[in-house]
């Protein structure tokens, strides 16, 4: 490589050192950073998969046709790192280049993508030519700071026009999607329609963990695979990943599990099951009937969902062992009246635990029940899961509890028209995996965007799985007297 020297004139040095590397990002990466020195001591350059992507850019970038590359990968393989290199190379080797970067969330863009860019900008030989800010990297030439730059733009469907004006005719424009699996399809569509400048080097890159089994990122590897150069990166084959942790995940979940596919193998979860709870699982539960005394030693748990909006319903469910039933459902009830009804159910059924949805109007119901001396535990659906490495939030964890319970033989009330109501609720929500490989249930708002109602019955039943519950002391004493006949139902409790 050409020997480094301290440039007397940054612009002259830029033209001299960078021009020959404008078509070869891999050579530029080796040249631009002091590998093996300082905080890069022990590192000799990019990983093999990163080299392959940089070579694809070298061999495919041209002014004649847009180059589109999609990379799905396991966790911790260095996606944000290569994004930073490509941004800096793209700017450093082409005057008036434009780069637009977005990510699955504004927080990801700020704390991960841009934080990684800041780290590599400080190490870069050409870094002194560009000023780094919280949402941009721009030329230090005051006359070109608006035309020679990279911008971090959080996406929003209602502001998709930000991706419609991506033009830089005769020069260079890069668009980079980080954690692309969770970027809305409409942003993809607007971006695709904007990249039409002729005689321009156009590069569209999409990186991410394959957390969703539907959407445009998934289709880069399926329906639109002829339009994209694509690759999957197995975290086991990457130098920088934690192999001990990977082995634990494989041991705990299995190599064929969706958890390992998403977090380790860089493969998409099973495309055949976008629903968290399949229809046949729910319909099978309607056909099951148990004797009233079969689960008499199991704790009685009540779940209380509180309506958020005028069209939503308040719902109360009771579960004991493998049996569950709806006690109440009504639209348009005030919180004080609802609290009085719940208090009556508590006195009647004497549950071992009552879990109540604390979102929206739930706090008022909770306070009233406490005034009535009812023992109630409030649950925030968006709070941290008990098993936070597996589930993105508490609601996702509880709903997966319903699914596991149904698989173990859970029974649901089977009288029409109640059955269709319950089936629609339980089978409505879809799921995906977040950037950390954790299961996340589709939000109620997203369901409504798809034209589905709030799953009030499902949420109330899910609340009965909010936490492990022990039976009351008198039940425990009876269990001791009947130990031989007692089936503790361990297999039906949450894993």
Structure confidence by residue, pLDDT tens digits, 391-401: 999 999 999 99
Q: Are residues 283 and 196 in the same domain?
A: no
Q: Provide mean pLDDT across the span 400-407.
A: 95
In the chain the first and final C-alpha atoms are separated, in Å, by 56
Find the domain containing 127 and state its range.
10-265
Residue at 272 is within a domain:
no
Residue at 271 is within a domain:
no
- How does 311-338 read in b/e, with b if 16+ C-beta sit within 10 Å? ebbbbbbbbbbbbbebbbbeeebebeeb
Residue at 5 is within a domain:
no
Q: What is the CATH number of the domain that holds 333?
A: 3.30.420.240
Q: Who contacts 133 (Cβ-Cβ below 8 Å, separation ≥6)?
A: none
pLDDT tens digits, one per residue of 206-218:
999 998 877 899 8
pLDDT (0 to 100) of residue 379: 96
Q: Provide mean pLDDT across the span 50-70.
A: 96
Nearest-angstrom CA–CA distance, 246 and 252: 10
| Angstrom distances, CA of residue 392 to CA of 144, 256, 432 | 43, 21, 10
pLDDT (0 to 100) of residue 310: 64
Q: Are residues 372 and 296 in the same domain?
A: yes
Q: Are residues 291 and 434 in the same domain?
A: yes
Specify the higher pLDDT residue, 81 or 312.
Answer: 81
In this prediction, residue 13 has a pLDDT band, given cuts at 50, 70 and 90, of: low
pLDDT (0 to 100) of residue 473: 56
- Please report how many Cα atoms fall inside a 13 Å half-sphere around the Cα of residue 492, on the Cβ side: 20
Residue at 2 is within a domain:
no
pLDDT (0 to 100) of residue 291: 86
Specify the higher pLDDT residue, 490 or 455.
Answer: 455
pLDDT tens digits, one per residue of 164-201:
878 889 999 999 999 998 888 889 999 988 888 889 99
Q: What is the CATH number of the domain that holds 260?
A: 3.40.50.300
Mean pLDDT is lowest, of 37-51, 235-249, 320-334, 406-420, for 406-420
Residue at 175 is within a domain:
yes
Contact 81/116 with Cβ under 8 angstroms? yes
Q: Are residues 126 and 167 in the same domain?
A: yes
Domain end position, chosen among 223, 242, 265 = 265
Contact 233/72 with Cβ under 8 angstroms? yes
Domain count, the chain: 2
pLDDT (0 to 100) of residue 424: 83
As a whole number, the mean pLDDT across the chain is: 87
Q: Are residues 447 and 472 in the same domain?
A: yes
pLDDT (0 to 100) of residue 478: 54
| Angstrom distances, CA of residue 434 to CA of 114, 141, 262, 266, 284 | 19, 40, 9, 13, 30
Residue at 46 is within a domain:
yes
Q: Are residues 260 and 321 in the same domain?
A: no
Q: Who contacts 460 (Cβ-Cβ below 8 Å, separation ≥6)?
A: 303, 304, 305, 315, 316, 317, 326, 357
pLDDT tens digits, one per residue of 239-290:
999 999 999 999 988 998 888 998 999 998 864 456 789 888 898 999 888 8
Domain end position, chosen among 220, 235, 265 = 265
Beta bridge pairs of residue 71: 207, 231
For the entire predicted model, the pTM comes to 0.65
pLDDT (0 to 100) of residue 294: 87
Q: Are residues 231 and 368 in the same domain?
A: no
Q: Are residues 25 and 136 in the same domain?
A: yes
Q: Are residues 286 and 261 in the same domain?
A: no
In this prediction, residue 139 has a pLDDT band, given cuts at 50, 70 and 90, of: very high
Other C-beta atoms closer than 10 Å to the C-beta of 23 total 16
Q: Are residues 85 and 132 in the same domain?
A: yes
Residue whose C-alpha is closest to residue 426's, from 278, 296, 327: 278
Contacts 24+ apart (CB under 8 A), 438-443: 438/385, 438/388, 438/389, 438/390, 438/391, 438/392, 438/396, 439/259, 439/390, 439/391, 439/392, 439/396, 439/400, 440/391, 440/392, 440/393, 440/396, 441/276, 441/392, 441/393, 441/395, 441/396, 441/399
pLDDT (0 to 100) of residue 272: 46
Q: Are residues 170 and 224 in the same domain?
A: yes
Say which residue the tokens 């971006």 belong to: 191
271-276-279-284 Cα dihedral, nearest 10 degrees: 120
pLDDT (0 to 100) of residue 309: 65
| Class of residue 170 by CB neighbours under 10 A (exposed 0-12, middle 13-18, buried 19+) | exposed
HEC sequence for the chain: CCCCCCCCCHHHHHHHHHHHHCCCHHHHHHHHCCCCCHHHCCCCCCCHHHHHHHHHHHHHCCCCCCEEEEEEECCCCCHHHHHHHHHHHHHHCCCCCEEEEEECCHHHHHHHHHHHHHHHHHHCCCHHHEEECCCEEEECCCCCCCCCEEEECCCCHHHHHHHCCCCCCCCEEEEEEECHHHCCHHHHHHHHHHCCCCCCEEEEEEEECCCCCCCHHHHCCCCCCCCCEEEEECHHHCCCCCHHHHHHHHHHHCCCCHHHHHHHHCCCCCCCCCECCCHHHHHHHHCCCCCCCCCCCCCEEEEEECCCCCCCEEEEEEEECCEEEEEEEEECCCHHHHHHHHHHHHHHHCCCEEEEECCCCHHHHHHHHHHCCCCCEEECCCCCCCCCCCECCHHHHHHHHHHHHHHCCCECCCCCCHHHHHHHHHHCCEEEECCCCCEEECCHHHHHHCCCCCCHHHHHHHHCCCCCCCCCHHHHHHHHHCHHHCCCCHHHCCC
Q: Provide mean pLDDT across the span 305-317.
A: 84
Specify the higher pLDDT residue, 483 or 56.
Answer: 56
Q: Are residues 284 and 376 in the same domain?
A: yes
pLDDT tens digits, one per residue of 376-386:
999 999 999 99
Residue at 348 is within a domain:
yes
Specify the higher pLDDT residue, 1 or 264.
Answer: 264
Residue at 1 is within a domain:
no
In this prediction, residue 104 has a pLDDT band, given cuts at 50, 70 and 90, of: confident
Domain end position, chosen among 265, 294, 315 = 265
């Amino acid at each position: 490589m050409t020997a480094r020297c301290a440039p007397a004139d940054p612009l002259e040095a830029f033209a001299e050192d960078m021009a020959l590397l404008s078509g070869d990002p891999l050579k530029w990466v080796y040249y631009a950073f002091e590998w093996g020195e300082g905080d890069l001591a022990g590192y000799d350059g990019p990983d093999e998969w990163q080299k392959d992507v940089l070579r694809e850019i070298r061999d495919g970038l041209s002014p004649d046709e847009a180059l589109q590359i999609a990379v799905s990968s396991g966790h911790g393989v260095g996606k944000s790192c290569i994004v930073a290199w490509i941004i800096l190379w793209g700017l450093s080797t082409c005057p008036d280049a434009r780069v637009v970067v977005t990510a699955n969330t504004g927080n990801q863009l700020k704390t991960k993508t841009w934080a990684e860019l800041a780290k590599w900008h400080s190490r870069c030989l050409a870094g002194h030519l560009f000023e780094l800010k919280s949402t941009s990297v721009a030329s230090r030439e005051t006359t070109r700071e608006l035309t020679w730059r990279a911008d971090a733009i959080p996406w929003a469907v209602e502001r998709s026009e930000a991706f419609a004006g991506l033009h830089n005719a005769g020069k260079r424009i890069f668009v980079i999607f980080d954690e692309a699996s969770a970027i809305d399809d409409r942003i993809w569509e607007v971006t695709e329609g904007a990249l039409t400048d002729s005689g321009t080097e156009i590069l569209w890159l999409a990186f991410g963990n394959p957390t969703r089994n539907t959407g445009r990122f998934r289709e880069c590897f399926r329906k639109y695979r002829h339009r994209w150069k694509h690759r999957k990166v197995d975290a086991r084959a990457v130098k920088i990943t934690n192999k001990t942790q990977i082995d634990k995940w494989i041991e705990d979940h299995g190599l064929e599990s969706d958890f390992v596919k998403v977090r380790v193998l860089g493969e998409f979860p099973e495309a055949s099951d976008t629903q968290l709870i399949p229809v046949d699982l729910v319909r099978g539960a309607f056909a099951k009937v148990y004797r009233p005394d079969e689960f008499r030693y199991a704790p009685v748990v009540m779940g209380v969902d509180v309506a958020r909006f005028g069209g939503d319903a308040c719902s109360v469910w009771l579960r004991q062992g493998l049996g569950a039933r709806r006690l109440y459902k009504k639209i348009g009830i005030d919180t004080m009246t609802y609290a009085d009804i719940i208090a009556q159910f508590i006195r009647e059924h004497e549950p071992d635990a009552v879990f109540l949805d604390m979102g929206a109007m739930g706090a008022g119901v909770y306070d009233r029940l406490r005034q009535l001396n009812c023992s109630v535990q409030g649950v925030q659906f968006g709070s941290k899961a008990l098993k936070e490495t597996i589930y993105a939030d508490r609601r996702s964890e509880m709903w997966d509890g319903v699914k596991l319970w149904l698989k173990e033989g859970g029974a649901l009330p089977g009288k029409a028209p109640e059955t269709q109501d319950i089936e629609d609720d339980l089978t409505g929500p879809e799921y995906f995996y977040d950037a950390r490989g954790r299961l996340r249930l589709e939000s109620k708002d997203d369901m409504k965007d798809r034209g589905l109602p709030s799953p009030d019955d499902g949420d109330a039943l899910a609340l009965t799985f909010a936490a492990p519950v022990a039976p009351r002391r008198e039940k425990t004493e009876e269990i001791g007297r009947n130990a031989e006949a007692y089936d503790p139902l361990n297999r039906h409790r949450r894993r």
